[in-house]
Amino acid sequence: MENAGLLIVGHGSTVNADSSAPTWAHMRQIRRSGAFAEVQCAFWKEEPSLRDALLFFRGGTVRDVYVVPNFISEGYFTQTVIPREIELTGAVTERPGGQIWKYCEPVGSNERVTDLLLKRAREVAPGINPAETTLVIVAHGTELNDNSAVAAKREVQKIRERGLFAAVLNAYMEEPPLIADWAQLTSTPHVVVVPFFISDGLHSYEDIPVLLGMSQHVADGVFRQNPHQLHGRSLYYARAIGTEPEFANLIVEQALAFDAAHKLQSVA
């Protein structure tokens, strides 16, 4: 869309640069595709900030700006923080001068996330028999992240309905069923664990591996050493789903779906 801009919004982190890495990578990939006249990203906890985003897309030919939260689910940040910080009044916000900002659904709500979860599981554990495998989707949990737990449960149910694995389970870091109890929750010889997070941050690199009982849990080693032999089982541990390069295409799809959902005409 030659007269449209795309703003990808991430959470970011003040202590872990890996938190924003997928968002930057997706931004660069979309820029190379030429799908939009201009592509930018902004963060809550990093620079450029959400307030900085108010200065983007000025002085050019961009008439419509599509804002896509690079978040797993709806929640406090997508419903309150982002709209407040970039001064959105609703799904459609008209700026002084007539520029239109369109607030899209978070990328985690895209229906193809299910396929990407399955793709990640196949890649991390190639050649194993699915009939002897349990797939575990791990999310954060706790009341503070209730919507992410709901999204994870939705994905587990969708994968269960396909009948591809012996079992498909939810597990959480801070609420039952706990990922620390994976050995009691599963009975198959193979267990594949996929973090339902946007980025490989401290949770993916350290917290979850420790909860799983791995002795090697620092930096990339935890991903390179699959399978991990624990409790008499082969445990395969994947990177966070949001690091999948295909997520860039899902971000674009969220923007393209906005006009159809709101019965608006997109700019050429």
pTM above 0.75, yes or no: yes
24/28 Cα distance (integer angstroms): 6
State the pLDDT at residue 217. Answer: 47
The average pLDDT across 132-152 equals 82
Closest residue by Cα to residue 46 from 78, 24, 76, 79:
24
Q: Is the pLDDT of residue 146 over 70?
A: no
Instruction: Decide if pLDDT at 4 tops 80.
Output: yes
Q: Does 154 score more than 50 pLDDT?
A: yes
Residue 237 scores a pLDDT above 90: yes
Among candidate residues 197, 207, 201, the one with its CA nearest the CA of residue 244: 197
Domains and CATH numbers, the chain: 4-108+246-261 (3.40.50.1400), 113-241 (3.40.50.1400)
**What pLDDT does 107 receive?**
96
- Once rounded to an integer, what is the mean pLDDT over residues 207-228? 79
Sign of CA dihedral 128, 220, 25, 173: positive
Chain mean pLDDT for the chain: 91
What is the spatial distance between Cα 245 and Cα 171, in angstroms, rounded to a whole number? Answer: 25
Q: What is the pLDDT of residue 144?
A: 56
